[in-house]
Chains A and B, each alone.
Chain A
Amino acid sequence: MTRPDLDPPEVAVIGVGQTPYRRRHDATTQDLVRAAVHEALTDAGVAMSDVDIVIAGFAPDGLAGENCPDKRFLPAAGAIGRWSMRVNTGGTTGIAAAFTAMDLLEAGYGDIAIAIGVERMAQALDVPAVFNTIFDPIYERDIGISTISMCAMRASRMMMRWGYTPEHWAQVGARNFAHASRNPLAQITRPYSAEAVLGSRMLSWPIRQLDACPISEGVCAVVLARSAAIGSTARPVAWVRGRASMTDTYNLGDRFAPGRPDLVDLLSLRDSVNRAYAQAGLESGLQADVAEIHAPFTSAETMAYAPLRFCDAADGPELVAAGFGAWDGRPVINPSGGPQAANAVGATALVRLAECALQVRGRAGERQVEGASLAVATGQGGANQFSTCTVLSSR
């Protein structure tokens, strides 16, 4: 059984609100939260008085330099007098907030919920050093590891195993930047070419500056509702047809033994996809019109291709070389530009869901993929060990 209840009430995303994911020196965290929530409620056509549940994610505190900021941003999200809490699972924080809200709606604790993901990392002047502190202080932190080097070690492994080259990843980057140029919320809207990616500064071999995400901030809010509350509204909604959140070991070093899932097999995403696709009746990610992949690095995006059943892992480089994911094909990968163009850490996994919801609701504006009705969103957190997969449909 892949779901806890054989006949749970259905839930849908009925509204989306997002701030631009750029440095905002002119607003407090609370101001940004309120702006995003207000926009989401307006989009959903509901009032705060209709809302029963408020779930908020923010992570990690050290990036914002605000310890336990929940005490201030939860009220700004409308939590006063409502069932509310904060969740934190690193990179998957934003989607964890949405899944928590969905669980509560399905369980009957309310009809309408707000889920938000918050990021304030532009306040940090030493982001890589803060990211060093998320690693194990006993065995690993002294070795200078950060999120960039962690993902670079996965990239090297992909070069060894499947023959990826920096040129493949530069092509992925150029496609994401081309898509981001349609997205007014993106931080990087300049359509950098593959040559520009290859010519950018080396951060942690083989990852270059334009293979990596920028330092972004902002707030994403979604309004969720269960079917009874949606009724016969004429407004388009995005039905949640499948979802799962799975975990793998923290220890990167445990994923090299022959005969076991490898570091770059991304076991937790494979497990999440298996469950979410089964719930949604999906055989392959290629059936989707749109996929928003939570990958802050070009190489990390390609690592998700096999778990999402776009191809066998060894065929990934060939798929990239064929121009996979571009605007004129299906599925379109990251029509928003993805985390490469804006990666507000505590929000970004929720942004993937929100962007998919906008797509299947036909409300994605200039970045709308024509006729999109089925979309897949992923989330990645921890030491890339927490993965989520959500399938959204217009029907």
Chain B
Amino acid sequence: MTTGDSSEPVPPLKLAGHWDFRYEYFAGDAASRFFAELGQGRIMGTVCPQCQRTLVPARGFCDVCYVETTQWREVGLTGRIETFTILATKFHGLPDPPVVIGYVTLDGASTAILNYVQGVPLDDLDAAGKQLLGQPRVRVRFHPQPEGRITDFHFEVTDDPA
């Protein structure tokens, strides 16, 4: 049996750790139909019977009025950027920069939906930011092989007048 000197400093220990669990997220009725319609090239919202807002992306209830949505309504494939950011630093697990993400209100919708925004030169971030602050019009671009995810489309800045 040995005895140690407890006054001798010990470097603080760090133990390596890792979380690696798999999940399946249950999208529910509204999002399941939203993604099915997306695969057909349509963007659909649900309508709140009380405030009459067309909620995009679609949801089963309006959280402000606290009532179920009752109707589906197709919205346009063009819209306006409400706000945005340009991801500029690489972080593990997040998209490779530079990339623009932003909220867009599609024509006919009452709420905005988040997605990637393409079509803005990103060699000068401040110039890109300035252009995007002007809230340009954008168009939905569907991807050829839909997977039933929000990444089945992105937005592209158009030259169309507002």
Interface presence of B94 (CB below 8 A): yes
- Asked if B88 lies at the interface with its beta carbon under 8 angstroms from chain A, I say yes
Which A residue's beta carbon lies closest to that of B90?
A: A128
Given A139-B150, A149-B85, also A206-B99 (CB < 8 A): no
Chain B hits for A149, CB < 8 A: 85, 87, 101
A205 contacts partner chain B, Cβ-Cβ < 8 Å: yes
Contact between A144 and B88, CB atoms less than 8 A apart: no
- Given A65-B17, A159-B133, A140-B88 contact (CB < 8 Å): no
B57 within 8 A of A: yes
Given the interface pairs A139-B114, A205-B125, the reply to whether A146 lies near B85 with Cβ below 8 Å is no
Nearest neighbor of A256 in chain B, beta-carbon distance: B82
Q: Which of A92-135 contact B (CB under 8 A)?
A: 123, 125-126, 128-129, 132
Taking the complex as formed, is A314 at the interface, i.e. its CB lies under 8 A from any CB of chain B?
no
Q: Is the CB of A129 within 8 A of B92?
A: yes
Establish whether residues A204 and B83, one from each chain, have CB atoms under 8 Å apart when the complex forms.
no
A370 to B10, CA, bound (A): 43
The residue in chain B whose Cβ has the minimal distance to the Cβ of A139 is B57
B142 on the A face (CB < 8 A): no
Assembled-state Cα–Cα distance A249/B65 (Å): 11
Number of interface residues of A (CB under 8 A): 44
Given contacts A252-B114, A254-B111, contact A138 B101 (CB under 8 A): no
Asked if residues B101 and A143 are in contact (CB atoms below 8 Å), the reply is yes
* A156 CA to B135 CA, complexed, in Å: 10
> Once the chains bind, are A144 and B95 in contact (CB under 8 Å)?
yes
Chain A residues touching B, majority SS? mixed
Q: Complex: how many Å from CA A87 to CA B85?
A: 32
Residue B64 at the A interface, CB < 8 A? Answer: yes
**Could you say which of B85, B113, B126 contacts A153, with CB atoms under 8 Å apart?**
B85
Report the minimum CB–CB distance from B80 to chain A (whole Å).
Answer: 9
Asked whether B143 is an interface residue with its Cβ less than 8 Å from the other chain, the reply is no
Cβ–Cβ < 8 Å partners of B89 in chain A: 201-204
Instruction: Say yes or no: A253 contacts B150, CB within 8 Å.
Output: no
Answer yes or no: B44 CB below 8 A from chain A CBs.
Answer: no
Report the minimum CB–CB distance from B43 to chain A (whole Å). Answer: 12
Cα-based distance from A140 to B83 in the complex (angstroms): 15
**Proximity string of chain B (92-108) to chain A, C-beta cutoff 8 Å, 1 when within and 0 when not:** 11110001011101000
Contact call B101/A145, Cβ cutoff below 8 A: yes
B103–A126 touching, CB < 8 Å: no
Task: Name the CB-closest residue of B to A250.
Answer: B63
| A188-B83 Cα distance, complex, nearest whole Å | 30
In the assembled complex, which residues on chain A have CB atoms less than 8 Å from the CB atom of B111?
251, 253-254, 256-257
**Given A143-B150, A203-B88, A263-B83, A26:B114 Cβ within 8 A:** no
Indicate if the CB atoms of B151 and A142 lie closer than 8 Å: yes
Nearest B residue (CB) for A27: B12
**A132, B112: Cβ atoms under 8 Å?**
no
Q: Pick the contact of B86: A65, A145, A205, A252 (CB < 8 A).
A: A205
CA distance A105 to B81 in the complex (A): 48
Which of A139, A159, A201, A251 has most B Cβ within 10 Å? A139
Which chain B residue lies CB-closest to A123?
B17
Q: Is A369 an interface residue (CB 8 A)?
A: no
Query: How far in angstroms is the closest Cβ of chain B from A1?
Result: 22
**Shortest Cβ gap from A271 to chain B (Å):** 13
Tell me the bound Cα distance from A159 to B150 in angstroms.
Answer: 28
A153-B94 CB under 8 A given contacts A139-B114, A202-B88, A249-B64: no
**A152 interfacial by beta-carbon distance below 8 Å:** yes
- In the bound complex, residues from chain B placing their C-beta under 8 Å from that of A145 are 101, 114
Q: Is the CB of B113 within 8 A of A253?
A: yes
B158 at the interface (CB under 8 A from A): no
Q: How far, in whole Å, are A146 and B97 apart by their CA atoms in the complex?
A: 14
- Residues of B within 8 Å of A126, CB to CB, are 91-93
CB-CB contacts of A191-216 with B at 8 A, as 1s and 0s?
A: 00000000001111111000000000
- Cβ A253 vs Cβ B17 within 8 A: no
Centre residue among A137, A207, A250, A251 by max chain B CB count within 10 A: A251
**Which residues of A sit under 8 angstroms from B82, Cβ to Cβ?**
157, 253, 256, 263
Chain A residues positioned under 8 Å from B150 (CB to CB): 138-140, 142-143
Residues of chain B within 8 A of A142, CB atoms compared: 149-151
Cβ contacts under 8 Å, A256 to chain B: 82-83, 103, 105, 111-112
Query: In the assembled complex, which residues on chain A have CB atoms less than 8 Å from the CB atom of B132?
Result: 156
In the complex, the 3 A-B pairs of residues with the closest C-beta atoms, listed nearest first: A129-B93, A152-B85, A253-B112
Q: A156-B83, A205-B125, A254-B111 are in contact. List 4 more A-B contacts (CB 8 A).
A: A140-B150, A144-B94, A252-B112, A254-B64
Question: What are 12 A-B pairs at a CB distance below 8 A?
Answer: A25-B12, A144-B87, A144-B95, A146-B94, A160-B83, A160-B135, A205-B128, A252-B114, A253-B56, A256-B105, A257-B110, A263-B82
